[in-house]
Structure 1
């Protein structure tokens, strides 16, 4: 199948499945819940197809499940279909922990209570397609696009697990994954970074890969961690459909709190950790009421103990890097200038790692409103006694004079092409081709700044501030106002939360 045919088939599948999402929304089924149900049903359908392949039959479900699975649902309708479906979910979720079946089906529930809608989804939308024959690329791409559309469903909060694909691709192109790399994402969401890294390696080295490299790439060199079970199952299915992991092997997506332990070392870490500032857990008291308690991780390898989740992820990613290794991580602005623990972390990061590039991102590109973020690129290297590993930090300002919104002007791949070209023009930031968007800072200059503030701005002329003719369209201005207000509200909420915690502490004295 040609590339054009692949794209056309992907669009057909996405449009077909998405059209039914609109029907289910009227029933109260959110986009992310719909994609979750597709995860369950696609697994059962593909397992059935592969087990009945005449040329190369492959058993995916346990041998004791012979005759069970999709065959139990096919052609059924009404309450009997609903009963069988819910029984299947419960039985599959009861499989041994640590297996793909338990990850995908653990705690699974049927969200489609209307039996007519459930029957149409099973018998028509999924049942009439041959998912194995069409190929994992088409199916994986279709599933990935459904996840992308689901991220725009603000009511479900799905956007918090989704990084814009053009940004992911740019970060992957800059870090240039190879078959020799071990690659991870400690906050993997639906698996976008892992998929992009895998695709980059296959596209660049496909003909050179030997059998062992192909096996390692698919089974052990790429893995992710996700705290939320529902999101982890989406990531697992997403990777499986793209040929990463196996239906009957070990999990490549781990459901756990990545910050709670050191974790396996990796040559390359790609991540967009959660934007929320506080690490917290929900505690149910004896009276049945739920309260939130801040969490400070007791990691002896961390430079400092803090309840700030964003700062903890920076520490975790740095410590997870193998030697040598490289990282590209999305961080909000406050990670660059926050005092206290933030200053300690930045000072140590600049000394112990080669922090060489900072990309200032424009607003309006994330599903979480009001976010001002950056991409921090740093490497782990063999240290020189008494010398900091960071010598030069190049800051690329892609924020000033850039205006994006999710609907009227979404971020596209070509918007980041100039940055990627500049990044790849030389290994060292000071040797890269000149750009008016770039300023290079020495290590001594950085650590001399108040609180080691890395929020470096001011060399790119803000055209909108001086030229009245450059005023933006009203809808863009309105969107930016909304984003700024959302950012302000988030800051106020953080302050209120901190004040509440202080008051609680004083009251307990």
Structure 2
């Protein structure tokens, strides 16, 4: 089977990496839609199938990229995809048709279009240059597991990226015996490319969502009157200049304090809180510094959030889990009430906040990346569930070095610092060591990837110099 990565490499230097990936994703979705139309003779149309056949018949004789993009786009638009899906990809106009053959072959011969699309998203993590980063699947799975959506819930992501959280919510419901089709999915993003990717990602996985944008949820909320059962977000960290014109200074969402114009972390946190239904729950990824910053405006908002008793849990995570962030990150979980109820558990945790220190739990994977193991994710989810009193879990107890249930008074005595590693005490266990041979192999893979990146950048620089 032709490698997707090798196929994309044939376009290096003559097309932007983002455009080449977008073309690959469009081809994958066209194949998916074509196969769906072929499998359903009673379907209202065969637009995608006709386009797929036309592209296949002419694939080796396409004159240039402009013709290829036109065939794909028309087939998908006629097949019912929204205008948002259309991408001009003007830098592909003059790419010779022969250079597209490996890319077409990699899509044609793939065993599963959805799996190939996931490969595209993994490549996007390393090739993106415009700030469109997508949450790694393992991290998305962790946050959705903590939120525990159920069929019938409305799930909202105000910075939805490629739609990963929304798809994980469907997977979670299905894996727990529910009907994923009974979830209502909503998303917004400021990036057109991210929204295009989300439409394609949802389509190829057989899902639908109400997506809005491109527009920032902070300054142009496209769901102004709506609240949701589950709100999840992985926003840009330490975003500066997010409200330079001051349009949002008196916004109703800032019930815990006006966020500083120079850092949007607590604007995003309060947006999540404002979009939660009365019995809803929310979760957001924030830089670890948000848990302990002493900057007055941010500290005051954190204090107000704790005093309002809407912060249910803070989880400190390792560095390197997000490709674009090398510092440690944290998960903040919110709820409107900590009293016993079906979507919460049997324990009344009013006036208390759980902190979990998972900062030393990452393992090194191929090419120098770091991930949480399945066991670590399960332990985090189980700890939070036990603290809430969810049936079927062992009774909760503080574990030195891992978790602690803090009273509001204890947090106040710590100047409202909620960084877990400052509260849980000394670790009770030592992180298992990694085999030396595995370390050498992983470092070698990372070095080879750096060599490859260096070569690609050198090629791009040479192309730019030739154009001067």
Secondary structure of 2:45's match? Answer: coil
Matched, 1:117 2:99: yes
Match of 2:333 among 356, 360, 377: 377
Per the alignment, residue 140 of structure 1 pairs with: 114
TM-score (normalizing by structure 2): 0.76
1:228 and 2:191 aligned: yes
Contact 1:279 1:295 in 2 (8 A): no
Give the aligned partner of residue 421 of structure 2. Answer: 457
Flag the 1:117–1:102 CA change in 2: closer, same or farther, 3 A. same
Return 5+ residue gaps in structure 1 as ranges: 1-11, 282-292, 384-388, 480-509
Q: How many Å apart are 1:72 and its aligned residue?
A: 4.2
CA distance in 2, matches of 1:140, 1:471: 33
Kept in 2, the 8 Å contact 1:365–1:410? The answer is yes
Alignment of 1:23 onto 2:10 = yes
Paired residues of 1:159 and 1:367 also in contact (CA < 8 A): no
In the alignment, is residue 82 of structure 1 matched against residue 41 of structure 2? no
C-alpha distance in 2, partners of 1:194/1:158? 22
Contact in 1 for aligned 2:162/2:197 (Cα 8 Å)? yes
| Partner residue in 1 for 2:385 | 424
Q: Deviations over 1:258-277 (max 9, x none)?
A: 11245231100122111243
CA deviations over 1:141-188 (Å, ceiling 9, x no partner): 33123312331x1x5347852223222212222221100211011111
The equivalent of 1:341 in structure 2 is 297
Structure 1: distance between partners of 2:314 and 2:113: 35
| Structure 1 pair 366–278 and aligned structure 2 pair: CA distance change class (3 A) | same
Matches of 1:365 and 1:68, distance apart in 2: 42
Cα distance in 2 for residues equivalent to 1:407 and 1:400: 19
Q: Secondary structure at the match of 1:150?
A: helix
2:345 is aligned to none
C-alpha separation between the residues in 2 aligned to 1:170 and 1:90? 35
With over 3 angstroms needed to count, the CA separation of the structure-2 counterparts of 1:114 and 1:84, relative to structure 1, is closer
Say which of 354, 368, 371 aligns to 2:310: 354
Inter-partner Cα distance in structure 1 for 2:420 and 2:366? 26
**How many pairs are equivalent?**
416
Query: Which residue is equivalent to 2:460?
Result: none
Report the CA distance shift for 1:91/1:320 in structure 2 as closer, same or farther (over 3 A): same
Checking the alignment, whether the CA contact within 8 Å between 2:314 and 2:333 is kept in structure 1 is: yes
Measure how far apart 1:368 and its partner are: 1.6
Selected match of 2:367 from 407, 414, 428:
407
Q: Matches of 2:96 and 2:39 in 1, distance apart?
A: 32
Please list the CA deviations of residues 315-353 of structure 1 after superposition, one character each: whole Å capped at 9, or x if unmatched. 100001011101121111232233222123212222334
Q: Distance in 2 between matches of 1:231 and 1:356?
A: 30
Counterparts in 2 of 1:176 and 1:305: CA distance versus 1, 3 Å? closer
**Alpha-carbon distance between aligned partners in 2 of 1:189 and 1:54, rounded to the nearest angstrom:** 31
- State the alpha-carbon separation in 2 of the partners of residues 203 and 471 from structure 1: 31
User: RMSD across aligned C-alpha pairs, in angstroms?
Assistant: 4.0
Give the conservation status (yes or no) of the 8 Å contact 2:28–2:117. Answer: no
Give the helix-richer structure, 1 or 2: 1
| Aligned-partner SS, 2:421 | coil
The one of 131, 142, 151 equivalent to 1:179 is 151
Change (3 A) 1:169 1:75: same
In structure 2, the residue matched to 1:259 is 218
- Aligned residue runs from structure 1 range 270-419, under 5 A: 270-280=232-242, 297-298=248-249, 299-302=251-254, 303-307=257-261, 308-338=263-293, 339-381=295-337, 391-400=351-360, 404=364, 407-408=367-368, 410-411=370-371, 412-419=373-380
Q: Is 2:409 the counterpart of 1:444?
A: yes
Does structure 1 residue 149 correspond to structure 2 residue 100? no
C-alpha distance 404-89 of structure 1, shift in aligned 2 (>3 A): same
Change (3 A) 1:236 1:90: closer
Q: Deviations over 1:401-448 (max 9, x none)?
A: 766577346313233222222222241599624422112221122234
Deviates more, 1:372-381 or 1:303-312: 303-312
Distance in 1, Cα, partners of 2:330 & 2:129: 22
Matched, 1:435 2:399: yes
Q: Distance in 2 between matches of 1:409 and 1:41?
A: 28
Instruction: Name the CA distance, whole Å, in 2 between partners of 1:471 and 1:252.
Output: 43
Tell me, yes or no, if the aligned pair for 1:401 and 1:463 is still in contact at 8 Å.
no
Q: Please give the alpha-carbon distance, in whole angstroms, between the structure 2 residues aligned to 1:104 and 1:409.
A: 31
Report the secondary structure of 1:69's partner residue: helix
- Which residue in 2 is equivalent to 1:502? none
